[in-house]
Amino acid sequence: MSSIGKLMKQAARMQQQMEEIQAQLAARTVEATSGGGAVKVVARCDGTLASIKVDPQALNPADAQLVEDMILTATNQALAQAKDISNKEMGKVTSGFNLPGLT
């Protein structure tokens, strides 16, 4: 088989693996909290949010800015964890295959 044929076969196999991993990542979640657990954010490893929970005790109208900051902090932490997992899983598929945009 020609080297271009081998390359095409390898690329097709890698694409299938990447699609499988993306489906798995969409089902996998991570959780982050802030404010001592007053805010909990669950993110999927495909970069989307699954849920945001706020402890009712943290909902004093005078503390709105604080609650907003806690939500932002927990959201960013959860999304960072999700992105890290996604990068590691996708990196397993693309390692050793040097094509622009697949690293």
- 62-92 pLDDT tens trace: 888 888 898 999 999 999 998 898 888 888 8
Look at 101 and 41; give whichever has higher pLDDT: 41
pLDDT score recorded for residue 101: 57
pLDDT score recorded for residue 67: 87
In order of their start, the domains of the chain are 3-94 (3.30.1310.10)
SS3 content of the chain, % helix, strand, coil (to 5): 60, 15, 20
Q: Can you give the pTM of this predicted structure?
A: 0.65
- 7-63 pLDDT tens trace: 888 888 888 888 888 888 888 899 999 989 999 999 888 888 899 999 988 888 888
